[in-house]
Amino acid sequence: MLKLLVYGYLTNTYSSRKLEDQAAQNVHFMWLLGMKKPDHNTINRFRSEKLSGVLKQIFSQIVLLLQQEGIVSLKEAVFTDGTKIESAANRYTFVWGKSIKANKEKMKAQLDELWGYAQSIAAEELKDTAPVTFEEVNPEKVKETIARINAALDDKQEVEKKVKQKLNYAKKHWPENLKKYEEQEKLLAGRNSMSKTDPDATFMRMKEDHMLNGQLKAAYNLQISTQQQFILNYSLHQTSTDYQTLQSHLEGYEALYNEKPKAVVADAGYGSDENYGILEEKGIEAYIKYNTFDKEQKDGLKAFSNDSLHYNQAEDYLVCPMGQRMKHIGEGQRVTSSGFVQMISRYQALNCEGCPMRGVCHKAAGNRIVEINHGLRKHKQAAKERLNTEQGIKYRKRRPADVEPVFAQLKHNHGFRRFLLKGLSKTEVEIGLLSIAHNLRKWKA
């Protein structure tokens, strides 16, 4: 069965029904299977269930064979990049985390309004009841509160018709909706979006889609590390940003081979304070651009940017472009979307009044205040120096020619633009088979 799937992916045959046909009609498949003819359900069960969790070990054995042949080295630099591949989910099955939060807040506000109305109409009936707060709502609390309001307003003639309608709607729909929201929030697991038909998929903006306008589509973020255009490691992620994927991707590499690459070469999408720190801690050289690197190479640092200000570490002050000291006025923290805590230092110029450069330096009222992340500043300076070494320039030239053609092979030449299976574990199997097929195809080319 594994031979059938690997050869199928080698020949761009991904569908289980097409593989079933090939097993009955194609002499190459017949020979591999020893004339056995598995049906599409058997093929799909084997791919979805039997290979889940074990295929990556099979993939690693092929990479180790490539290392034995001297084609790749697990201890040298790897080239890392990511691409988004569309999920098998239906296209317009959005579930948004922010919408769930907004709906729950709206429900709480309406429940509070109904409770207040009930107290104004039926204060006597509610005087012995415990006070109700709506900071947190759950299906049981909502159901109980609506029942208490209905009981208090039951015999009141002056109750407005629209209030009765709202109570009836709330009784019928709100507890059920809250249960649905709780289930969806568990599936979201901190993400802002998912698909109803593939909850593991996240909506991401795709560069290519059926309407050619960069639509949001349910997808997974595929990360690969390559060398000589061979895939050494792959991982699937539910976040659309590349910088949040690097740590777990590298941990997967170390778990597979019990080795760490000498260096990681990647584009500016991975250039973050957190990633530079992770690579430094692991002893891996980071040939990773930061977001303004290319612009600085072309135009140099902007004269009035925060990064251009001279810093005196011994006395902890900055120097503005006019030579004036900017004193340290405080510390703060900034938490990134991945939960990483950045330490921020704030500095203020002593007197900007009358400065001839004020119009181009800053336009806010008062003296200029800047925020500096010294950790990131050091990492960026080290990255800049490393990227401009002879080795760094070689890596920068080689990166787009090493990793990006692999995506072109997978998506364009071999037509794999959309997963056939749903769920993270199943789509990882598909990527594993695709990666094995790519390495074998290139090895024997």
Note whether residue 357 is domain-resident.
no
User: How buried is residue 354: exposed, middle or buried, by Cβ count under 10 Å (0-12/13-18/19+)?
Assistant: exposed
Q: Does residue 225 sit within a domain?
A: yes
Q: Output the pLDDT for position 131.
A: 56
What does the alpha-carbon distance between residue 79 and residue 233 come to, in Å, rounded to a whole number? 10
pLDDT of residue 132: 60
pLDDT on residue 1: 93
Last residue of a domain, which of 166, 195, 224?
195
Percent of the chain whose predicted confidence (pLDDT) is above 70: 95
Residues 88 and 108 in one domain: no
pLDDT digits (tens, 9 = 90+) for 47-84: 999 999 899 999 999 999 999 999 999 999 999 999 99
Residue 269 has pLDDT above 90, yes or no: yes
Residue 414 has pLDDT above 80, yes or no: yes
Looking at the predicted structure, is the pLDDT value of residue 177 above 80?
yes
Q: What integer pLDDT is reported at residue 356 of this predicted model? A: 86
**Residue 125 has what pLDDT?**
60
Quick: pLDDT tens for 33-52. Answer: 999 999 999 999 999 999 99
Which of 82, 402, 394, 73 lies closest to 229 in space, CA to CA? 402
Q: What are phi and psi of 277, to 5 degrees?
A: -65, -40
Residues 58 and 105 in one domain: no
Q: Which residue has the higher pLDDT, 433 or 299?
A: 433
How far is residue 445's CA from residue 437's CA, in Å, rounded to a whole number? 12
Q: What is the pLDDT of residue 209?
A: 59
Interval 214-236 mean pLDDT: 94
Q: Are 208 and 186 found together in one domain? A: no
Same-domain pairing of 155 and 211: no
* Domain-ending residue, one of 195, 221, 252: 195
Asked if the model's pLDDT at residue 150 lies above 90, the reply is no
Label residue 361 exposed, middle or buried (CB < 10 Å: 0-12, 13-18, 19+): middle
155 and 118 fall within a common domain: yes
Residue at a domain's end among 177, 195, 213: 195
How far apart, in whole angstroms, are the C-alpha atoms of residue 200 and residue 47?
A: 18
- pLDDT at 11 > cutoff 90: yes
CA distance 374 to 346: 11
DSSP-derived pairing of the beta strands 216-227 and 78-86? antiparallel
Query: Is residue 339 in a domain?
Result: no
Which residues, at least 6 apart from 413, have a Cβ–Cβ distance to it below 8 Å? none
pLDDT: which is higher, 210 or 96: 96
Residue 34 lies in a domain: yes
Same domain membership, residue 64 and residue 140: no
Evaluate whether residue 332 is within a structural domain.
Answer: no
Q: What is the pLDDT of residue 208?
A: 67
3-state secondary structure the chain: CHHHHHHHHHCCCCCHHHHHHHHHHCHHHHHHHCCCCCCHHHHHHHHHHHCCCCHHHHHHHHHHHHHHCCCCCCCCCEEEEEEEEECCCCCCCEEEHHHHHHHHHHHHHHHHHHHHHHHHHCHHHHCCCCCCCCCCCCHHHHHHHHHHHHHHHCCCCCCCHHHHHHHHHHHHHHHHHHHHHHHHHHHHCCCCEEECCCCCCEEEECCCCCCCCCCEEEEEEEEEEEECCEEEEEEEECCCCCCCCHHHHHHHHHHHHCCCCCEEEECHHHCCHHHHHHHHHHCCEEEECCCCHHHHHHHCCCCCCHHHCEEECCCCEEECCCCCEEEEEEEEEEECCCCCEEEEEEEEECCCCCCCCHHHHCCCCCCCEEEECHHHHHHHHHHHHHHCCHHHHHHHHHHHHHCHHHHHHHHHHCCCCECCCCCHHHHHHHHHHHHHHHHHHHHCC
Query: For 282-311, what is the mean pLDDT?
Result: 90
- pLDDT higher than threshold 60 for residue 128: no
Least confident stretch, 26-30, 128-132, 303-307: 128-132
Beta bridge partner(s), residue 83? 222
Question: pLDDT band for position 421 (50/70/90)?
Answer: very high
Q: Is residue 366 part of a domain?
A: no
- pLDDT band for 298, please (50, 70, 90 cuts): confident
Judge if 129 and 213 occupy the same domain.
Answer: no
pLDDT for residue 50: 93
Q: What is the mean pLDDT of the chain?
A: 90
Is 61 a domain residue?
Answer: yes
Q: What is the pLDDT of residue 78?
A: 97
* pTM of this structure: 0.89
Is there a single domain that holds both residue 39 and residue 58?
no
**Distance between CA atoms of residues 156 and 220, nearest Å:** 56
Mean pLDDT in residue range 100-122: 85
What does the alpha-carbon distance between residue 198 and residue 218 come to, in Å, rounded to a whole number? 8
Domain shared by 122 and 215, yes or no: no
**Residue 248 pLDDT more than 70?**
yes
Asked whether residue 221 falls in the same domain as residue 148, the answer is: no
| Domain-embedded: residue 349 | no
Q: Do 174 and 59 fall within a single domain?
A: no
- The residue type of 40 is H
Tell me the residue range of the domain where 281 lies. 53-93+196-312+373-445
pLDDT tier at 284, thresholds 50, 70, 90? very high
Number of domains the chain is built from: 3
Q: pLDDT value at position 361?
A: 87
Identity (one letter) of the amino acid at 58? Answer: I
Banded model confidence at residue 347, pLDDT cuts 50, 70, 90: very high
Please give the Cα distance from 261 to 75 (Å, whole number).
5
Same domain, 76 and 116: no
